């Protein structure tokens, strides 16, 4: 996650994040609070520097939240570790840079489509990455229908690929527990020495 590695100027990086609409404030939760929506799949971790991301959040996002409580909906659908995950140290750095007044006003973080690997990751590193208060506000949401119990449906724009994945999970529920791959089926017979073929082994996917 470095500007020098990507070759993009800071302005180009900011414009890219704006175009991708990774972070959006839209709709309200069931208590009338603003909702910050984060689409994980859209985040280009390999081309965005930590400094640019912090500046973008401070100027474009946090300033819109004001001094009132809000909720966060993080959409994990389709996230790839190689493309969208900035690394543990970067996540920690970003979290520490969030102003105290913003952290204190986070009421809940709804983690949509977490998958087994994401659950294991946060069970291992969650308390290291975030303070105890925020970690306790993390709620895993396996399906969109459960998200609507917390967030008003008519206020959120859900990408088509998220809706498609949600429908697929209804037909293949074992994907929730890592017992069936979320990659396209190949119908190749797994060998006894290599059972990995039927599992998704991505670190946080």
Spatial contact of 113 and 150, defined as CB atoms under 8 Å apart: no
- pLDDT over 50 (residue 155): yes
Going along the chain from its start, the domains and CATH numbers come out as 3-198 (3.40.525.10)
- pLDDT over 80 (residue 176): no
CA distance 53 to 41: 16
Tens of pLDDT along 12-53?
Answer: 999 999 999 999 999 999 999 999 999 999 999 999 999 999
CA distance 154 to 98: 29
End-to-end CA distance of the chain: 18
Name the more confident of 150 and 183. Answer: 150
CA distances from 26 to 54, 59, 134 (A): 20, 17, 21
Q: What is the mean pLDDT of residues 169-195?
A: 50
- pLDDT over 70 (residue 204): no
Tens of pLDDT along 72-131?
Answer: 999 999 998 889 888 887 788 888 888 999 999 999 999 999 988 888 988 888 888 887
């Amino acid at each position: 996650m470095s500007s020098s590695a990507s070759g993009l100027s800071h302005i180009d990086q900011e414009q890219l994040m704006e175009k991708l609409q990774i972070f959006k404030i839209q709709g309200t939760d069931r208590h009338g609070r603003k909702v910050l929506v984060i689409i994980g799949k859209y985040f280009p971790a390999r081309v965005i520097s930590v400094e640019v991301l912090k500046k973008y959040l401070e100027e474009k996002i946090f300033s819109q939240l004001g001094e009132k409580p809000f909720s966060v909906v993080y959409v994990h659908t389709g996230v790839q570790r190689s493309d969208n995950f900035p690394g543990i140290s970067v996540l920690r750095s970003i979290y520490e840079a969030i102003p105290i007044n913003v952290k204190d006003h986070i009421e809940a973080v709804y983690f949509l489509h977490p998958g087994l690997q994401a659950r294991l990751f946060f069970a291992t590193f969650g308390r290291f990455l975030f303070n105890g208060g925020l970690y306790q506000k993390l709620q895993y949401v396996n399906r969109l229908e459960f998200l609507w119990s917390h967030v008003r449906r008519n206020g959120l724009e859900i990408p088509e690929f998220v809706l498609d994945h949600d429908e697929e999970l209804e037909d293949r529920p074992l994907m929730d527990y890592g017992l069936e791959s979320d990659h396209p089926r190949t119908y190749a017979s797994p060998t006894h020495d290599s059972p990995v073929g039927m599992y998704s082994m991505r670190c946080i996917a």
